[in-house]
Homo-oligomer: A and B are copies of this chain.
Amino acid sequence: MSIRIAIVGYGNLGRGVESAIRQNPDMELCAVFSRRDPAAVALKTPGVPVVSTKELPDWKEKIDVLILCGGSATDLPVQTPLYAGDFNIVNSFDTHAKIPEHFASVDKAAKEGGRVAVISAGWDPGLFSLIRMISSACLPEGKNYTFWGRGVSQGHSDAIRRIKGVLDARQYTVPVEAAVEKVRNGEQPDFRARDMHTRECYVVAEEGADLARIEKEIREMPNYFADYNTSVHFISMEELKERHAGLPHGGFVIRSGKTGLAEENNELIEFRLQLDSNPEFTSSVLIACARAAARMAKEGQTGAKTLFDIPPAYLSPLSGEELRAHLL
């Protein structure tokens, strides 16, 4: 019997989950839940109902795993503990500083309801976290470096869009090549934020807007841009749509460590992602975690989990025998 998946929230991520399900024959999409008027939501998959989130309680027995595709700022902190008592859940909660608090509230709800909730799945947090963790365990004397990009940061793009006079914007995070090379050479430098990444902004301004003021507001924005070398390029709406329509992303995690009695040997672990579509790849990871959630729930496990807690084989549709024969 296939794993019955439902999606909550039909944005970029929800659409990514919808398309990822088609690549996984052991899964079926049984419903999409939305806060919008269901009649106004057109799915790409024929025959799947769009349902108001208000009706979720009626679906308790019809869904194996609910994939929450809302945002980390306001949706997931509310939805996840709310639904984790009634459903097995996967989310991509990515506000790193608030993960411990989120884990605690979801863990409580999931344990009370006897369900499994996999939080902070995706690639960062997610696969990047897994690599940071495993490589730290395998090379205890060393340092981790995480570089993001080249790719579109949706949070930074949104921040620019909120500036007066801006119609639209796209922000690319770009790793500083010289910093990457230092780390790959086995040095273990200490970096400031601006040493590791630059920020490139492509901005469409309203006609007659004060471009100098917009550029200044971007460059001086605390947390987002003030600590980085930032370039601002004003372009037309046509150019934005033509040349910056995609959501590519990626980056790499490097652990640089030392082994040997005198720590005389350098050992380098590098994990790199190069993604044409950030939301589609993230969705594909969520789907693999949904499989693991279903399996852990079947075994009687309960509570909040992260990729650190999941035996990797649980992510795969293949049996232990198949995995050992073909991938070990």
Contacts from A to B (Cβ < 8 Å):
16, 19-20, 22-24, 44, 96, 99-100, 103, 120, 125, 127, 129-134, 136-141, 144, 184, 250, 259-261, 265-277, 280-281, 283-285, 288, 291, 306-313, 315-317, 320-321, 323-325, 327-328
Q: Is the CB of B311 within 8 A of A309?
A: yes
Contacts of A127 in B (CB 8 A): 134, 138, 269
Q: Is the CB of A309 within 8 A of B313?
A: yes
Q: Is the CB of B276 within 8 A of A266?
A: yes
27 residue pairs from A and B, CB less than 8 Å apart: A19-B261, A23-B259, A96-B328, A99-B324, A99-B325, A100-B321, A125-B328, A129-B327, A133-B315, A136-B316, A138-B288, A139-B281, A140-B284, A259-B280, A259-B281, A265-B275, A265-B276, A265-B280, A267-B277, A268-B275, A269-B271, A308-B311, A308-B327, A308-B328, A309-B311, A309-B313, A310-B311
A292 to chain B, nearest CB (A): 9
Tell me the nearest residue of chain B to A288, going by C-beta: B137
Q: Is the CB of B134 within 8 A of A284?
A: no
The number of times this chain is found in the oligomer is: 2
Contacts of A267 in B (CB 8 A): 273-277, 280-281, 284
Taken together as a complex, chains A and B put the C-alpha atoms of A319 and B19 apart, in Å, by 36
Q: Is the CB of B323 within 8 A of A312?
A: no
Tell me the nearest residue of chain B to A253, going by C-beta: B271
Contacts of A134 in B (CB 8 A): 127, 130, 288, 312, 315
Q: Is the CB of B320 within 8 A of A133?
A: no
Q: Is the CB of A260 within 8 A of B19?
A: yes
Contacts of A184 in B (CB 8 A): 274
A270 to chain B, nearest CB (A): 4
Most buried by B among A100, A250, A261: A261
Contact of A272 among B22, B139, B270 (CB under 8 A): B270
Taken together as a complex, chains A and B put the C-alpha atoms of A175 and B139 apart, in Å, by 25
Q: Is the CB of B137 within 8 A of A315?
A: yes
A54 to chain B, nearest CB (A): 29
Given contacts A129-B327, A134-B315, A313-B133, contact A260 B288 (CB under 8 A): no
Taken together as a complex, chains A and B put the C-alpha atoms of A134 and B267 apart, in Å, by 22
Taken together as a complex, chains A and B put the C-alpha atoms of A306 and B320 apart, in Å, by 10
Contacts of A274 in B (CB 8 A): 184, 266-268, 270
